[in-house]
Amino acid sequence: MSEAPPLPTPTPEAVRRARTFWEQGQADLKESRRRLRARAWLDSSYLSFQASLNALSSVCTLHGEFRLPSHSTGRLAALAQGYDPRFAALGEPAQELEAVQELNPYAAGRDAAEEQRRSRLYYAHSDSILKAVRGYLKTHRRHFFAP
């Protein structure tokens, strides 16, 4: 297994931005869970996607990335893989989350059962991404910040 590169020393502004991304990601995931319980499947899916974008953006920002692919969880996960091996397992869930961008609330013949199944899947993928980011931040809390 390859070893992770040395940790960068982020600027105070980068730490502030990363913390903001992290906190927003947590809030988005919490709201996604609320929307799941309220049976607002599409809202939950969108929030799960946004939570993952924010959490992965937090890690990338700490590593000096400021021009982020803010539309792609897959590309953010690929960047994060270069920072720590634990992010290697996030490639597939991150790619699947990108399908959220194709959901259309106005589509004719929407299948509520399928939307429910997918929103639960997206929530689970997002939760796994946030857990990986939380683990990374906990491991490096003295260097960056405590999650």
The percent of residues in the chain predicted with pLDDT above 90, rounded, is 78
Say if residue 1's pLDDT is above 70: no
Taking only the tens place, the pLDDT of each residue in 82-129 is 999 999 999 999 999 999 999 988 988 889 899 999 999 999 999 999
Alpha-carbon distances, residue 5 vs 54, 63, 80, 114 (angstroms): 22, 11, 11, 41
Q: What is the assigned CATH class of domain 12-102+111-139?
A: mainly alpha
pLDDT band at 2 (very low <50, low <70, confident <90, very high): low
Residues in the chain: 147
pTM for the predicted model, two decimal places: 0.92
- Break the chain into its structural domains and give their ranges: 12-102+111-139
Calculate mean pLDDT across residues 37-56.
97
